[in-house]
Structure 1
Amino acid sequence: MDRLFQITARGSRISTELLAGVTTFLTMVYIVIVNPGILSEAGMDFHGVFVATVLASIIATLIMALASNYPIVIAPGMGLNAYFAFSVVGGEGVSWQIALGAVFVAGVLFVLLSLTSFRYMLLDAIPTGLKHAITAGIGLFITFIGLQKASIIVASPSTLITLGTLSEPMTYLTIIGLMISLILMSYRVQGYLFIGMIITAILAWIMGLLDMPATFAAMPSGLNATAFQLDIAGVFEEGLYAVIFTFLLITLFDTTGTMLGVAEQAGLLKDNKFPRSRGALMADAVGTASGALLGTSPTSAYIESSAGVAVGGRTGLTAVTVSVLLALTLFFSPTVAVLANIPAITAPALIIVGFLMINVLRQIEWNDIEEAFPAFLIVVLMPLTYSIATGIGIGFIAYPILKLIRGKGRDVHPILYVFAVLFFVQIVFFNH
C-alpha cells in the first residue's frame, strides 16, 4: 500500500490517511442527503438518485485516487444539481431524461477535453472575474433555493417575493438548524453541516415533524428507475446547446480551481504546476458521464477535501477511505429518505454552501467597470431569472461589448467572442 500511494515519500502514514478520509467524509456526506432531495423535485425517483449519487461519487473518487494519487473527493456538485432540477427541467420544461442526456453529452465532451490541451485554452479564454462571478452567482442561487424550501422567502403577488411566516414550525426549525450549523462552523467543528443535520433531525422528531422510518437500513434499491434512462436524442431536438455548455463550463473550471487549491494546500504542486492533471480531470469527466448513465447531475471536485488535507491527508488512500465509507451509506437509504424530506434539515446546508461560494466576490476587481459590471450581471441574474445559463450568457455578452466600447477588443480572447454570439442567439431566438 505504501508503494502504491507513496505514503512515506509524501511524509504521511497510513493511520493519518485513514483519519483524513474519515474527516473528509464527514464534511461532504451531506451530499447523499441533499442531492437526491433536490433531483427528486425534478420528478426523479429519490432512491434511484441516492444510489446513483453514491456510485458516481465512488467511481470518480477511486479514479482520482488510483490514477492521480490525490486526496481529493468527487461527487455531484452543489449548484449543478440545482441548475439541473430548477433551471433545465423546471425552467426549460424538458424531462429529466433529456436533462440527463445533456449531462452525458457534457461528460463525453469533458472526457475529450481532458485528453487534449484545449482544456487550458478554454479556461484561459474566460476572464478570472467572470469565473468568480459564476461561482458567486451559483452560491446566491443555491441560497435562494434553500430559503424558498424553508418558506423563509415566499411568493408575493405584489413584490414577487417576500418574507414568509417565521412562526411556522418548519420555518423556525430551519432557522434553528441554520444557527446550530453556524455555531458548529464558527468553532471549526469537522463535519458541521452533517452534524447540524443530525441535531436538527432530532429536534424535528421531538417537535413531531419527523416520523422515524420503519427500518433504518435496507439493501440498496431503486437504481433501475434512473439508470440508463437518459434521452440523448431529445437534447438535440430541444436545442439544449447552452445547457450542455453550461454543464461543461462550470464542471471544468470549478473542478480545476478546486483541485489546484487542494493540491497547493497539500504541497503537491511542482513548480506551481499540477502533476498528473490529465488523470485528475479524467476522474471528474468519467464521474459526470457515468453519473448521467446512473441517474444524477454532474460531478465536481469537492473543496471539502481540504478538511482531510488539513489533518494530514496527502495521498489517494484518503480518497479510497472516503469511497469505502460512501459505499456503507448505500445501506441507509430509508434513513436518508426521511431526512431529505424535511426542509429544515436540508435548507441550512443549501444556505451555508451558498454563503461559502459567494465569498469569491472579494476577488473581483470592482473598481474596473469592464470587469465588474458583467460579473455583477452574472451574479444577480442567476437567481432573478432562475437560470444559471441565462446569467452566464448575459455576462458573456456584456463583457466583450464593454471591452469593444472602451477600445480594448483585442484584450478579449477570440473564443469568448464565439461564446458571446452563441449565447446571444440562444437567449434571443431559442430561449424557452
Structure 2
Amino acid sequence: MFKLKEHNTNPKTEIMAGITTFFTMVYIVVVNPVILADAGVPFEQVFTATIIAAVIGTLWMGLFANYPIAIAPGMGLNAYFAYSVVGGHQDITYETAFAAVFVAGLIFVALSLTPFREKLIEAIPENLKHGITAGIGLFIAFIGLRLTGIITDHPSNLVALGDLHSPSAVLALVGLAITLVMMTLGINGALFFGMVITGFIAFFTGNLSFEQGFMSLPSLPNGLIVGNPLTAFGDVIQHSLYAVVFSFILVTIFDTTGTMIGVANQAGLMKGKSLPRAREALLSDSIATAVGAMFGTSPTTAYIESSSGVAAGGRTGLTAVTVAILFILSAFFGPLVGAVSGLSAITAPALIIVGSLMMGSISKISWDELDEAFPAFLIILSMPLTSSIATGIALGFISYPLLKLVKGRWREVHPLLYVFAVLFFFQLAFLPH
C-alpha cells in the first residue's frame, strides 16, 4: 500500500520518522487551545477538535496521497481567528467565525478538485507570498511576547517592555532560552521538549499544578458547532464575512502548497516541477479544515515540521499514519494539556520561535525593487500593528498593482490580482473591519 521498497525504506524507519514528526509538532495541541480560548472557545472543545482535524487530515495524506506530511490546525490562522475575526468584531461570536471557516473549507475542497487552486497560486507574486508568511510570523511572535507580559500596553507608545521580574516573564524567558539551545543543537522535537522542561520548572516553583489529574476520556462539551452548511453560508452573508473567508482560503493555499512542495522536494518525491498525486494531497487540508470547523478549530495546514520526519528517513504515507495514531493517543491526556495550556509562559516560547522561523521569508523578498518590496513591507508591518492578517493582505494586494501601474509594468500583474485589489479596496472602504 505504501510502496516501501519502491521508496527504499522500511516499516521501522517510517515509524521512527512518524514519531519524530509528532514530537516536533505536538505543541499545537497545547498552543491552539490557548489561542482560541481568547475567542471564548472552551478548552476541551478546541483540544479534541484540534486532534480530530489533525487525525483526519494526516490520515488522508498518508492513505490517499502516500506522503510523509502531517496536517493540523495552522499557527497564524488560529491567531487571526481569535484576535481579528472574533476579537475585532463585537457582533461575531466564535460560532459564527467557525461558520466562516467551514465555508472556507468547503470552497477549499471545491478548489482542490479543480485547476483553479494552482492558477490562484501562480497569480500571486512571489514577493507578496513571502511578505504574508513573514507578516504572520511577526504577528504570532508579538502575541507570544504579550501573553507573558514581556511586552505590555503603553498609554502613549502603544506597547512597552513589561516587568521582566514577574514570574510569567521569567519563566517564559527561561523556557525560550532552553528551547533555543536545543534547537541550536539540532535536537528533534525541541519545541515540544522545551515546553516539557519549562513545565517541570513551573511545577517545582509552584506555578503549575495538576488538580484534574493527567488523563481522561476526550470530550466535546459543545458537540457539533457547525452542522448545517446552509446555516453556515447564511451566517457568512449576514455578517459580510467574505473577506474573512477569502483570507482563510488565501493564507491556507499558500502555506499548505508551499510546505507540501518543500517537504516533497526534500524527500525526493517531486517529478520535475510537478507533485505526483497533488490533488489527493491538496484535499487533505481542505477536508480537515471543513471537518475541524464543525467540531471547533481553526483552519488546518501542512506542517513544515514534517521535514524533521523526512530527515529521519520518512518517505511514505506510513510516516503520516504513525503521526495520526500518536495524535489519537494524545487525546486521552486532556487534563495534562489543560493544566499546561493555562500557563502562557510554557507555550509562549513556541509562538515566538515559530514566528522567527516564518520571518525567514523576508530574505526572499526583492528589496532592490520598490514596486515589489513596498507591498510586501506593508503586509509585514500592518499585520502585527493592526492585529489583522486580513488587513495586511488587503493593503499588500491593493498597493502592488497600483505601483505596477505607476511604473508602466501593469502587464506583469495577473488579471486576478486586479480583481482582488478591487475587492479588498471595497472591503476596507465600505465594509466593517
Q: How far 1:190 moved relative to its partner?
A: 0.6
In structure 1, what is the Cα distance between the partners aligned to 2:140 and 2:222? 29
User: What is the percent sequence identity of the aligned residues?
Assistant: 56
Name the SS for the 1:300 alignment partner.
Answer: strand
Superposed counterparts of 1:262-411, under 5 Å: 262-411=263-412
In structure 2, what is the Cα distance between the partners aligned to 1:190 and 1:60? 23
Are the aligned partners of 2:77 and 2:298 in contact in 1 as well (CA < 8 Å)? yes
Deviations 1:30-63 (A, max 9, x none): 0000001111110011001100000110001111
Unaligned runs of 5+ in 1: none
Deviations 1:113-135 (A, max 9, x none): 11111111101110000000000
Are the aligned partners of 2:95 and 2:226 in contact in 1 as well (CA < 8 Å)? no
Residue 47 of structure 1 pairs with residue 44 of structure 2? yes
Partner of 1:32: 29
Q: How far 1:221 moved relative to its partner?
A: 1.4
Root mean square deviation of aligned Cα: 1.0
Q: Residue type matched to 2:34 in 1?
A: G
Q: How far 1:431 moved relative to its partner?
A: 2.8
Partner of 2:104: 106
Q: Which residue of 57, 61, 65 corresponds with 1:60?
A: 57
Deviations 1:126-179 (A, max 9, x none): 000000000000000000100000101100111111000100011111000000
Deviations 1:328-368 (A, max 9, x none): 01100000000001011011000000000000100000000
Q: Which residue of 11, 15, 18 corresponds with 2:12?
A: 15
In structure 2, what is the Cα distance between the partners aligned to 1:179 and 1:119? 40
Are the aligned partners of 1:97 and 1:229 in contact in 2 as well (CA < 8 Å)? no
Partner of 1:251: 252
Question: Matched residue pairs, number?
Answer: 429
Q: How far 1:223 moved relative to its partner?
A: 4.6
User: Could you say if the C-alpha distance between residues 146 and 418 of structure 1 is closer, same or farther in structure 2, counting changes exceeding 3 Å?
Assistant: same
Residue 119 of structure 1 pairs with residue 117 of structure 2? yes
Are the aligned partners of 1:12 and 1:314 in contact in 2 as well (CA < 8 Å)? yes
Q: Residue type matched to 1:167 in 2?
A: H
Q: Which residue of 65, 84, 89 corresponds with 2:86?
A: 89
Are the aligned partners of 2:223 and 2:295 in contact in 1 as well (CA < 8 Å)? no
Superposed counterparts of 1:125-136, under 5 Å: 125-136=123-134
Q: Which residue of 67, 74, 77 corresponds with 1:77?
A: 74
Q: How far 1:92 moved relative to its partner?
A: 2.6
Superposed counterparts of 1:196-211, under 5 Å: 196-211=194-209
Unaligned runs of 5+ in 2: none
Deviations 1:245-290 (A, max 9, x none): 0000011111000000000000001122100000000011101000
Q: How far 1:227 moved relative to its partner?
A: 3.7
Structure 1 stretch 181-190 or stretch 229-238: which is displaced more?
229-238
Q: Residue type matched to 2:27 in 1?
A: Y
Are the aligned partners of 2:98 and 2:225 in contact in 1 as well (CA < 8 Å)? no
Q: Residue type matched to 1:285 in 2?
A: S
Are the aligned partners of 1:223 and 1:294 in contact in 2 as well (CA < 8 Å)? no
In structure 1, what is the Cα distance between the partners aligned to 2:45 and 2:107? 25
Q: How far 1:214 moved relative to its partner?
A: 3.2
TM-score under structure 2 length normalisation: 0.98
Q: How far 1:390 moved relative to its partner?
A: 0.3
In structure 2, what is the Cα distance between the partners aligned to 1:351 and 1:213? 28
Q: Residue type matched to 2:313 in 1?
A: G
Q: Residue type matched to 1:181 in 2?
A: T
Structure 1 stretch 254-263 or stretch 93-102: which is displaced more?
93-102
Q: How far 1:311 moved relative to its partner?
A: 0.8
Q: Residue type matched to 1:397 in 2?
A: I
Q: Residue type matched to 1:97 in 2?
A: E
Are the aligned partners of 2:175 and 2:198 in contact in 1 as well (CA < 8 Å)? yes
Name the SS for the 1:98 alignment partner.
Answer: helix
Name the SS for the 1:249 alignment partner.
Answer: helix
In structure 2, what is the Cα distance between the partners aligned to 1:100 and 1:351? 26
Name the SS for the 1:218 alignment partner.
Answer: coil
User: Could you say if the C-alpha distance between residues 218 and 261 of structure 1 is closer, same or farther in structure 2, counting changes exceeding 3 Å?
Assistant: same
Q: Residue type matched to 2:378 in 1?
A: L
Name the SS for the 1:367 alignment partner.
Answer: coil
In structure 2, what is the Cα distance between the partners aligned to 1:66 and 1:200? 36
Superposed counterparts of 1:208-247, under 5 Å: 208-225=206-223, 227-228=225-226, 232=232, 233-247=234-248
In structure 1, what is the Cα distance between the partners aligned to 2:415 and 2:117? 15
Are the aligned partners of 1:45 and 1:226 in contact in 2 as well (CA < 8 Å)? no
In structure 2, what is the Cα distance between the partners aligned to 1:358 and 1:271? 28
Partner of 1:161: 159
In structure 1, what is the Cα distance between the partners aligned to 2:412 and 2:218? 53
Are the aligned partners of 2:130 and 2:365 in contact in 1 as well (CA < 8 Å)? yes
Q: Residue type matched to 1:188 in 2?
A: G
Q: How far 1:229 moved relative to its partner?
A: 6.6
Deviations 1:356-396 (A, max 9, x none): 00001000000000100000000000000110000000010
Q: Residue type matched to 2:42 in 1?
A: D
In structure 2, what is the Cα distance between the partners aligned to 1:223 and 1:309? 37
In structure 2, what is the Cα distance between the partners aligned to 1:220 and 1:291? 15
Partner of 2:416: 415
Partner of 1:171: 169
Deviations 1:163-221 (A, max 9, x none): 00100011111000000000000001110011000110111111111112332101111
Q: Residue type matched to 1:116 in 2?
A: T
Q: How far 1:224 moved relative to its partner?
A: 3.2
